[in-house]
C-alpha cells in the first residue's frame, strides 16, 4: 500500500521529538491519531520503527534507516508543493515570446524583458524570432504566449487581440558617402531612381504595406532593388557596404554603423506600428505577470533622437 505524504511527516516529527505528546502538539493533531498513523505505517512496512515504553520512545535500526529516506521524501514533497504554489502565482514556469527581427533594436522589448527577468527570475523565458504569420499560427495553437509584431497583421483570427501599439517613424538609411548623407529630411519623391536594399516579406506584411504606401506617395516609385534580406539588421549592414539605400524603422538607428547615415522621412510623418499580440482568453498567471510589466513601459522611451 502506498504511503501518504502526511505519514512521512508524522514519522519524521516523531523521530525528532521521540515523544508522542510533543510530536502530536507540533503536528497539531491528537496523540491517538498520531499513534494510529505510526502503527499503520509499521504494519505497512512489516517492521517496527519505534521501541515504545511508558517512559521512553526510541528508533529501531529499521527506523533509523527509514528516517534517512523519509526526510528526503518530506523535502521533495515540500519542494513540489512550493513549485506548485509559485506556478499558481505565476512566479515560475515557462513564458514563450515571439518577435520580429527588428523588435529587439527598439527600447520597448529589451525594457520589458529585462524588468520581467528581474521581477520573476524563476520563470524560464523562451524567446524566438518569428515572422508575424508564424507568430499568429503559434499563438492560435497555444505554442506561443505573446509576440511583438509589426502592423497591420496579414490576418486577424477570432480570439487574437492587439495591445500597446507603439509608433515608429521611418528613416532613410544611406551610405555615408551618398549624396543624401548630409540631408536633414527627405520626402518619398526624392527616392525615385535610387538603388535599394530592402527586406523580404519575412519581417512582416505590415512593414511591406508601409513601404508600398511610401512608394505610392512618391509618385508610384518602382524601387530598383539590388539586394534583399529576411532581416532588417542585415539590410542596414548592406547599406553600410555602400550597396544602396533603404527605408528602416527608427529603432534600427541603434545599429550605429560608421558608414550609415539615418535621415527622417517627411519629418516623421510616416509610421510603422509595433504591437504586442496575444490570445483573448483569460491569461495564465505567468502571462498576467508579464502583462503587468508591459503596462509599466513608459511609451516616451520609444522615441529616438538622431544625432
* Domains recognised in the chain with CATH numbers: 5-88 (1.10.10.10), 93-165+273-302 (3.40.190.10), 168-272 (3.40.190.10)
Q: At how many degrees (to 10) do helices 31-45 and 20-27 cross?
A: 100
Beta strands in the chain (DSSP E): 50-52, 57-59, 93-99, 123-129, 146-150, 160-175, 195-199, 224-229, 246-249, 260-264, 271-279
The answer on pLDDT for 107 being more than 60 is yes
* Mean pLDDT, residues 258-267: 94
Mean pLDDT, residues 89-93: 79
Mean of pLDDT values over 104-113: 92
**Residue 224 neighbours by CB under 8 Å, 6+ apart:** 193, 194, 195, 196
Q: How many residues does the chain have?
A: 307
User: Predicted confidence band at 117 (pLDDT cuts at 50, 70, 90)?
Assistant: very high
178 Cβ partners below 8 Å, 6+ apart? 245, 261
**pLDDT for the residue numbered 161:** 94
Instruction: Name which residue leads in pLDDT, 230 or 95.
Output: 95
User: Torsion angle of alpha carbons 295, 298, 303, 305, nearest 10°?
Assistant: -150
**Residue 93: its pLDDT value, please?**
86
Calculate mean pLDDT across residues 247-251.
92
Q: Is the pLDDT of residue 29 over 90?
A: yes
Residue 86: pLDDT over 80: no
Whether 307 has a pLDDT exceeding 60, the answer reads no
> Is pLDDT at 306 greater than 70 in this prediction?
no
Cell 505497512 found at: 44
Identify the pLDDT of residue 301.
54
Residue 292 has pLDDT above 50, yes or no: yes
Q: Is the pLDDT of residue 201 over 70?
A: no
Closest CA to 271 of 201, 206, 179: 206
Mean pLDDT, the chain, as a whole number? 89
* pLDDT at position 269 over 50: yes
Task: Grade residue 223 by pLDDT with cuts at 50, 70 and 90.
Answer: confident
Reported confidence tier of residue 214, pLDDT bands at 50, 70, 90: very high
Is 90 a residue whose pLDDT tops 80? no
Query: For residue 56, what pLDDT is reported?
Result: 87
**The dihedral formed by the CA atoms of 188, 194, 197 and 201, expressed in degrees to the nearest 10:** 50
In this prediction, residue 304 has a pLDDT band, given cuts at 50, 70 and 90, of very low
Q: What percent of the chain has pLDDT over 90?
A: 62
Confidence of residue 305 (pLDDT cuts 50, 70, 90): very low
89: pLDDT strictly greater than 60:
yes
Tell me how far apart the alpha carbons of residues 269 and 207 are, in angstroms, rounded to a whole number: 15
Amino acid at each position: 500500500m502506498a504511503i501518504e505524504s502526511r505519514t512521512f511527516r508524522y514519522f519524521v516529527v516523531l523521530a525528532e521529538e521521540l515523544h508522542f505528546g510533543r510530536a502530536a502538539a507540533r503536528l497539531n493533531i491528537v496523540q491517538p491519531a498520531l499513534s494510529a498513523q505510526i502503527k499503520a505505517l509499521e504494519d505497512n512496512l512489516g517492521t517496527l520503527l519505534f521501541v515504545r515504553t511508558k517512559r521512553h520512545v526510541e528508533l529501531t535500526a529499521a527506523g533509523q534507516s527509514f528516517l534517512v529516506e523519509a526526510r528526503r521524501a518530506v523535502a521533495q514533497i515540500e519542494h513540489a508543493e512550493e513549485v506548485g504554489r509559485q506556478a499558481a502565482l505565476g512566479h515560475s514556469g515557462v513564458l514563450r515570446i515571439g518577435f520580429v527581427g527588428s523588435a529587439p533594436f527598439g527600447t520597448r522589448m529589451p525594457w520589458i524583458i529585462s524588468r520581467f527577468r528581474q521581477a520573476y527570475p524563476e520563470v524560464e523565458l523562451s524567446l524566438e524570432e518569428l515572422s508575424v504569420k508564424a507568430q499568429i499560427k503559434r499563438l492560435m495553437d497555444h505554442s506561443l504566449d505573446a509576440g511583438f509584431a509589426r502592423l497591420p497583421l496579414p490576418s486577424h483570427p477570432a480570439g487574437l487581440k492587439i495591445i500597446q501599439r507603439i509608433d515608429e517613424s521611418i528613416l532613410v538609411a544611406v551610405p555615408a558617402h551618398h549624396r543624401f548623407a548630409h540631408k536633414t529630411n527627405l520626402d518619398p519623391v526624392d527616392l525615385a531612381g535610387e538603388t535599394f536594399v530592402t527586406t523580404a516579406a519575412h519581417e512582416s506584411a505590415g512593414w511591406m504595406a508601409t513601404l508600398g504606401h511610401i512608394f505610392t506617395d512618391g509618385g508610384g516609385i518602382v524601387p530598383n532593388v539590388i539586394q534583399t534580406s529576411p532581416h532588417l539588421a542585415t539590410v542596414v549592414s548592406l547599406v553600410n557596404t555602400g550597396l544602396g539605400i533603404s527605408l528602416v524603422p527608427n529603432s534600427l538607428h541603434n545599429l550605429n554603423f560608421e558608414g550609415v547615415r539615418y535621415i527622417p522621412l517627411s519629418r516623421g510623418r510616416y509610421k510603422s506600428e509595433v504591437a504586442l499580440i496575444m490570445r483573448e482568453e483569460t491569461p495564465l498567471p505567468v502571462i498576467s505577470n508579464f502583462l503587468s510589466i508591459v503596462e509599466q513601459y513608459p511609451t516616451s522611451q520609444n522615441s529616438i533622437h538622431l544625432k
